[in-house]
Structure 1
Amino acid sequence: MQTIDLKVLLEAGAHFGHKTNKWHPSASKFIYKAVGDIHIIDLVKTKQHLETARDFIYQQVSQGKEVLFVGTKRQAGAIIKQEAESVSAPYINSRWIGGFITNWQEVKKNVEKMNQIEKDLKDSTKMAKYTKLERVLMDRERGKLESVYGGVRKLEKTPDILFVIDVRKESTATAEARHNGLKVVGVVDTNTDSAKVDYVIPANDDAVGSISYIIKAIAEAYKEGKEVLEKNLEKEAKELQSKKMAEQEKKAQAEKEQKVSKEAKE
């Protein structure tokens, strides 16, 4: 993984917090100083916490855990989509789906419905049975479902970890995750309660440059963790196959010896 660069964080504007009259007391440990009426975030701590969060994501993903990328604010949506898709990670970038974790079975039904409609629309034989209006209505429904569930179409179970941009905005997602025992990795600005996050990344959560740099760092950790997981699974599969073949050979040898012994007695 690439080294987290203080200079790049500075150029990205990751150090700019909110106005001093909007700060949250829990952010005091991340604030370097106030310049005028703006709090400045200590980028040394941003770097340290980002590295810790990145290592956590890497370790968890390499062990088979799943991470859901969440960023629905205007500045983050497109970046979340781009970076998550680049590493085949699930994401939500339009609006948080209420009950996504607590009512997963209903969410899963909608995802399956979306996938089925997409499959049907590609089936020319099946589509021939519908009128033009019916096909238009089906495609419209697909579009509505995709705008909400498109980023989680391949998610087969509830995620184990949430990576969140702007914990304050995504308070519902964060609360739902913590209530259900999921770990939360989140970008926390000076106006946010950091106590609601397991792995805090103190940084500007409004500037596109800041958001982009952090998302890319986490996405890279996710990708490398997946690569390790796939290699380990491949190794385990080969070892299992070798063990199975050895057992079959051993059984065949035992049967052969038994047959020879029986013939000798006769």
Structure 2
Amino acid sequence: MAIVSMKQLLEAGVHFGHQTRRWNPKMAPYIYMERNGIYIIDLQKTVKKIEEAYNFIRSVSEDGGNVLFVGTKKQAQDSVKEEAERVGMFYVNARWLGGMLTNFKTMRTRIDRLMQLQKMQDDGTFDMLPKKEVIKLTNEITKLEKYLGGVKDMKKLPGALFIIDPRKERNAIAEARKLRIPIVAIVDTNCDPDEVDYIIPGNDDAIRAIRLIAATMANAVQEGRQGSDSEEIAADPQINDDIDTENGAAIGETPAEKSDGEDLG
């Protein structure tokens, strides 16, 4: 049985790419066709790529590695946080701070500062400080928590990154590549697939599409943590039998999810 069904992908709008005027030719192999100025992503290939990414993330987790979920665009913030937290992983859903990975030791000092301030807040130290100082320190906590709250328990570099929109997360991509940390990412039709180790061709703008794929990668982490002895999951033959029908159905639809407050292109 496939990890994600064609019906789920279609309902989430994963097949809607960007406008044809904004595309990366390297994504041509993953495009099914163009419809009304919008590229339709080939979901047969998406299904296979999701399975490859799932099996990889599961193996990282099974070996004791952590996965850092990254998605700072508005549409991705909630899903990234919720799915990472659900399986005890780390996340960045606000601005990516330079050196998050490549200058990890220095980043840890900022995290230590956050932990120290939170301890002071909890143990009553703030009650003994002047009100003006408390306001200043509280603001510092808020800022540090916003940018570092999702990684404050990350004691070592992650075994992999799961990224929503490589174009948006260029800095995270660059740091991971420099450190040879494998990257899994949702790659829309305007992205460069060469920057990613495990690409998932799909809509990186629609909230439902992002949530579906983020949840699937989180499930892979969870399965790996459970030490599953099951063999790698292969594509469901039934999907290949029905794929042309499903892709055909997608052609006649309109990219409603792209208007969920998201930029079409």
Alignment TM-score, normalising by the size of structure 1: 0.83
Structure 1 residue 2, shift from structure 2 partner: 7.4
Paired position in structure 1 for 2:107: 107
Paired position in structure 2 for 1:179: 178
Paired position in structure 1 for 2:234: none
Task: State the distance in 1 between where 2:31 and 2:154 align.
Answer: 37
Paired position in structure 2 for 1:57: 57
**SS of corresponding position for 1:201:** strand
Structure 1 residue 51, shift from structure 2 partner: 1.1
Paired position in structure 2 for 1:198: 197
| Paired letter, 2:41 | I
| Paired letter, 1:21 | R
Task: State the distance in 1 between where 2:207 and 2:200 align.
Answer: 15
Counterparts of 1:122-161 in structure 2, within 5 Å, are: 122-124=122-124, 126-161=125-160
Paired position in structure 1 for 2:241: none
Unaligned runs of 5+ in 2: 229-265
Paired position in structure 1 for 2:4: 4
Structure 1 residue 226, shift from structure 2 partner: 2.0
Task: State the distance in 2 between where 1:76 and 1:175 align.
Answer: 20
Structure 1 residue 127, shift from structure 2 partner: 3.2
TM-superposition CA deviations, 1:92-134 (whole Å, max 9, x none): 000111111111111000011101110111112x334312222
Structure 1 residue 211, shift from structure 2 partner: 0.5
Task: State the distance in 2 between where 1:20 and 1:149 align.
Answer: 37
TM-superposition CA deviations, 1:19-73 (whole Å, max 9, x none): 1121111101100011121110011111110111011000111101111000000
Aligned residues: 228
Task: State the distance in 1 between where 2:168 and 2:97 align.
Answer: 14
Task: State the distance in 2 between where 1:209 and 1:128 align.
Answer: 44
Question: Are residues 1:219 and 2:222 paired?
Answer: no
Instruction: Indicate the RMSD between aligned Cα atoms, in angstroms.
Output: 1.4
**SS of corresponding position for 1:106:** helix
Question: Per residue, is there more helix in 1 or in 2?
Answer: 1
| Paired letter, 1:197 | V
Paired position in structure 1 for 2:120: 120
Task: State the distance in 2 between where 1:185 and 1:68 align.
Answer: 10
Task: State the distance in 1 between where 2:120 and 2:172 align.
Answer: 32
Q: Which moved more, 1:65-74 or 1:1-10?
A: 1-10
Paired position in structure 2 for 1:257: none
> Equivalent pairs: percent with the same residue?
43
| Paired letter, 1:140 | N
Unaligned runs of 5+ in 1: 230-266
Higher relative contact order (CA 8 A, sep 6+): 2
Paired position in structure 2 for 1:13: 13
Structure 1 residue 13, shift from structure 2 partner: 0.6
**SS of corresponding position for 1:69:** strand
| Paired letter, 1:203 | G
Task: State the distance in 1 between where 2:200 and 2:29 align.
Answer: 12
